[in-house]
Amino acid sequence: MTLDSADFDSTVRRRSSRRGYEDDHDSEPRARTHESGSPLPTNRAVLGLTVAVALVPFLALSALVTGGWSPLLTADATIAERLYERVHPDPAFAHGLEIWTELFGTWAMRIVSLLAAAWLVFRRQFATAAWACAAVFTANLLGLVVKLTVDRARPEFADPILVGVGPSFPSGHALMATTGMGIALFAALPLLRGAMRHVACWVAIGIAMSTALSRPMLGVHWFSDIFAGVSLGIVALALTMLAWTYLPPVARRWDRESANWR
């Protein structure tokens, strides 16, 4: 059986029309999911929940510290004393902690964050680079405001291992280690595959948590300070990611389309 010219033209038109219908109905979801080459999550519900979950313990600790809640202050003092008794008699261990805490400290993480932003610009991930700058700025601003508002005194020892400067709550090292490693992780994700992504996540978490823990071990922060710092760092990351999803689509398309991370 053969098709004459009219039948053939009619078939082509029907197929073209069907493809056009499918494209019209599929284009919007695709644009929302893959409108840019950014590795940042775009699920607003998940990001909003992350902000809320991290904000609750931070606000609770802020209220308890400001109100001088005795059980928390007693627990902080007990932990500080135990850690001091463990670290102080071991100069080599204390020195190793000092090196680690500065290697991934506040200024180091600021530099890492800005280098990550520069790398993203080099990769033509302009919108994600803007997020990285916004995240590190937000974290620093929130940390400064809370420190000045709460104005908590640091632990004091007769023979201190290390002397801290400025208000204690929250820990700036914990805040910036969390923020900086989060930024570095999302900048690196497009370059990684499979199991290496999981390894990178655990490395970032390990560095952030160990840097935070080094602060009370060196006697310059209370334990609740580092908990608040990590929580606030997560808030800064998730909140700026959430704000990023509200950028106009044209702004998010500044990021180069890349198959490397998909």
CA separation for the pair 189, 197 (Å, rounded): 7
pLDDT given at position 40: 85
In this predicted model, what pLDDT tens digit does every residue of 151-209 receive, in sequence order? Answer: 999 999 888 888 888 899 999 999 999 999 999 999 998 888 889 999 999 999 999 99
Nearest to residue 80, comparing CAs of 152, 150, 175, 180? Answer: 152
Mapping DSSP onto H, E and C, the string for 6-42 reads HHHHHHHHHHHHHHHHHHHHHHHHHHHHHCCCCCCCC
If you search the block for the tokens 């999803």, which residue do you land on? 245
In this predicted model, what pLDDT tens digit does every residue of 234-254 receive, in sequence order? Answer: 999 999 999 988 887 766 566
Q: 217 and 177 in contact (C-beta within 8 Å)?
A: no
In this predicted model, what pLDDT tens digit does every residue of 106-161 receive, in sequence order? Answer: 999 999 999 999 999 888 888 889 999 999 999 999 999 999 999 999 999 888 88
Q: 236 and 139 in contact (C-beta within 8 Å)?
A: yes
Q: How confident is the model at residue 261 (pLDDT cuts 50, 70, 90)?
A: very low
CA separation for the pair 61, 168 (Å, rounded): 13
Evaluate whether the domain defined by 35-252 bears CATH number 1.10.287: no
The pTM for the full model equals 0.80
pLDDT surpassing 90 at residue 15: no
If you search the block for the tokens 């370059």, which residue do you land on? 191
